[in-house]
Amino acid sequence: MTLTQLQEHVTEKSKNVTQEFKRLFHGRGGLYEAWRHLTIDSIDTILSAMFYGESENEDEVLLMLQNFVNASRYTTLIVQRRYLKGAPSEVLIGVLAENVFVVENGIKIKLNLLSNQNSGYFPDMKNGRAFIRENAKDKSVLNLFSYTCAFSVAAKLGGAYTVVNVDMSKGALSSGKANHALNAIEPRGVSYLPYNILKSFSSLKRKGPYDLIIIDPPSFQRGSFEATKDYEKIIKRLEELAGEDCLLLSCLNSPELESTFIINMMQEFAPSFEFVKRLENVPEFASDNEERSLKNLVFRRSKK
């Protein structure tokens, strides 16, 4: 794909965009070999570009995007260079409003687009949140590694009775409370626990049992979680936390680990849970190898 073809691709994908988030270009999926380092997103009137690696044509890409924005519905252009120390972000065109949020299936989620880390929103999890919203009615929900609590918002909008959000980061949980307020969700029945999950199973068990459990950990977070050795610790305690007929969404975003990593551990350490299906990924996040992309695996506890 040439730079001209990239521009044509972005122009075509931006037709009929709305206030809702849309990924216009997903180089990270590996379908465009020369552009693995680049993603481009539409966030209402904001165009956001992320560079995950240094490239010789970065200045040309940015000039193309600036010209595109100046001739389009977009009023703001933001770029983040994830390959530089601190992953700095900057506004190249326009002014960024103080309170920015993304819209996904009508759900509003606060964004920090000038953060030197993540923005507070993982767009590839869209289908996972839709699944939770569709299956949460009247359920008691446990949201592990809740981050900014987007799953909790989806669950409450889907009619969940209670939601317990657990994350070590008090800052993330504060953002989670703001996300619930942004969506006019009644605070009663929603709790936010700044716990180290691996050390808090007894406390979580006392608040259970749960009808719907979400496990969405980072693949690797120094000092707190490493999927290859810590995911097993959670699965071993699942049956203590789960109610009868409990539904589980187990998420894995490590490119190095395949679906069988979770499925095999469930069979060994939580055998009352049966594998149901893997959720399809959002089409805009297509990959040249789906086992290296996001894996959202659904299990249900059987009544054997």
Domains of the chain: 3-97 (3.30.750.80), 123-301 (3.40.50.150)
pLDDT per residue, tens digit, the chain (304 aa), is 899 999 999 999 999 999 999 999 999 998 998 999 999 999 999 999 999 999 999 999 999 999 999 999 999 999 999 999 989 999 999 999 888 999 999 999 999 888 767 888 999 999 999 999 999 999 999 999 999 999 999 999 999 999 999 999 999 999 999 999 999 999 999 999 999 988 899 999 999 899 999 999 877 666 667 788 889 999 999 999 999 999 999 999 888 899 999 999 999 999 999 999 999 999 999 998 888 899 999 999 987 6
Q: What is the DSSP string of 246-294?
A: EEEEEEE--TTS-HHHHHHHHHHH-TTEEEEEEPPPPGGG--SSGGGS-
* Residue carrying structure tokens 């699944």: 131
Distances from the Cα of 234 to the Cαs of 45, 70, 216, 302, in angstroms?
41, 49, 11, 19
**Which pLDDT value is given to residue 304?**
60
**Which pLDDT value is given to residue 26?**
96
Q: Which helix (H) or strand (E) holds 162?
A: strand 162-166
3-state secondary structure of 125: helix
**Which pLDDT value is given to residue 303?**
72
The predicted-structure confidence for 214-266, as pLDDT tens digits, reads as follows 999 877 666 667 788 889 999 999 999 999 999 999 999 888 899 999 999 99
Contact 152, 175 (CB under 8 A): no
**Which pLDDT value is given to residue 19?**
93
In degrees to the nearest 10, what's the CA dihedral of 105, 109, 113, 115?
-140
DSSP 167: -
Distance of CA 136 to the CA centre of its chain: 18
Spatial strand order in the sheet of 76-81? 22-26, 38-43, 46-51, 76-81, 89-93
